[in-house]
Amino acid sequence: MRCATDLGTSSNQFDSPFLESSSPFGTVGADNPVAVPLVAKWPVTPCRSASSKAPRPPKPSPKISKPVAIKRRQVTPPRQPYQERPSPQGTQGEGLNAETTVKPGHGIPPRALTFLGITALTISTYCGYLYASYTREVSKAQTLDVPRDVSDRYNTTAATFDADVELSEKAMGLGKKRRDLVRQARGNVLEVSCGTGRNLPFYDLGERRGLDADGHATVLGCRSVTFVDLSPQMVAIMKEKFEKLYPTFPATFRACDAGKVEPPSDLARSGVKTTEGPVYFDTVVQTMGLCSMPDPVATLRHLGSVTEPGSGRILLLEHGRSYYDWVNRILDNLAPAHADRHGCWWNRDIGDIVRESGLEIVEEKRWHLGTTWRYVLKPKRSTEKSQS
């Protein structure tokens, strides 16, 4: 480095680039022409000192103020609920960027699916069994020659009758229908085709005064009961049940034809004959009996003749033909086999039988596709009979 001040003030020192020095060759000067190189002694100047390796004090660094960190408040926007957008038309197969919509699953638990599958299999198996049984019974019925009177079958089925019909009657709710019918019985009561006594728990035994459905004073309950069936085995089972349920109430049991039942007498009621002339039953009950009788129309007419004219009632609960032709075809196809096994023609038209009997219809109801019939009948008065 060069310094302008140093060069200006010390110019006399640089008149010769060589300095005098002692040497084995002599003194270099004007008188000695031999020039010997000498070591140059440069003056120590501030510039020289700056380029030297001598330690020097550190320069103070300028103070720069650090920027103050400003804490910014972060505002998080509220989260919007996810709304699945429908996939546009024609995006399938157009690339990875095409929007696709994943359809949700059916949501039915595996256990429910398993249960539904087992249920469907069970129902289909049972329906197949019913169809096979139906076709077998139809082919068997076509070969049978069954008489019209099959009432003697009850002599052999009396012991197992309750067990045979228990399940089907519960499924059809016939217990409640029996109760609603028998609860209307009052006064001197006659039950024909009593069977094994499936109506026994529903009788209101013991006469008392009360109010009818319209609020009028009347006599409620049964004064006496008479049970009739053509099968002695059925009557024996009926009597045993009655004595267990009502051990102190007097009752009469007869094994005879319902079409030949005699009217009650004063002697049977009070022990003392007080009046002359006919005595009638106040109520006649029959459940599931017309299907077993060889002549149901004649039987109904006879029951009307022993029922109190005007105020007496005949209560019927029967099974027979349906509203629908397809049900009637099934009943007709299976009727011979059913009658031969159970002593019951279940394809009879109960409505036609009632109308042909000439009794007056007070009430009529039907259930189970029309196969279960309920009737409340009453005999016509003598004046009405003469006019008809």
pLDDT (tens digit, 9 = 90+) per residue, 266-325? 435 444 444 454 589 999 999 999 999 999 999 999 999 999 998 999 999 999 999 999
Q: Is 151-387 assigned to CATH 3.30.530.20?
A: no
Distance, in Å, from the CA atom of 355 to the CA atom of 115, rounded to the nearest integer, reads: 50
Summarize pLDDT for 188-217 with one digit per residue, the tens.
999 999 999 999 999 999 988 888 777 888
State the pLDDT confidence band at 31, using cuts at 50, 70 and 90.
low
pLDDT of 372: 98
Distance, in Å, from the CA atom of 230 to the CA atom of 254, rounded to the nearest integer, reads: 8
The mean per-residue pLDDT over the stretch 139-165 comes to 89
* 307 within 8 A of 115, measured Cβ to Cβ: no
Summarize pLDDT for 346-364 with one digit per residue, the tens.
999 999 999 999 999 999 9
The separation between CA 28 and the C-alpha centre of its own chain, rounded to angstroms, equals 136
Q: What angle do CA 244, 250, 254 make, to 5 degrees?
A: 90
State the pLDDT confidence band at 164, using cuts at 50, 70 and 90.
very high
Lowest mean pLDDT among 42-46, 148-152, 226-230, 345-349: 42-46
Q: Report in angstroms the alpha-carbon separations of 347 from 212, 311, 332, 354.
A: 36, 32, 6, 15
Given a cut of 80, is residue 73 above it in pLDDT?
A: no
The mean per-residue pLDDT over the stretch 79-92 comes to 61
Distance, in Å, from the CA atom of 218 to the CA atom of 246, rounded to the nearest integer, reads: 24
Distance, in Å, from the CA atom of 25 to the CA atom of 78, rounded to the nearest integer, reads: 101
Find the DSSP H helices in the chain: 4-9, 46-51, 110-141, 154-157, 161-172, 174-182, 232-245, 266-270, 296-305, 325-342, 350-357, 382-387
pLDDT of 60: 67
Torsion of CA 363, 384, 313, 282, to 10 degrees: 170
The mean per-residue pLDDT over the stretch 58-84 comes to 66
Please compute, for residue 102, the number of CA atoms within 13 A of its CA located in the half-sphere on the CB side: 3
Q: Is 358 left (phi over 0), alpha (psi -120 to 50) or beta?
A: left
The separation between CA 70 and the C-alpha centre of its own chain, rounded to angstroms, equals 67
pLDDT of 85: 65
- Enumerate residues 6+ apart whose C-beta is below 8 A from 198: 162, 165, 169, 178, 287
pLDDT of 17: 46
For residue 297, the 8-state DSSP code is: H
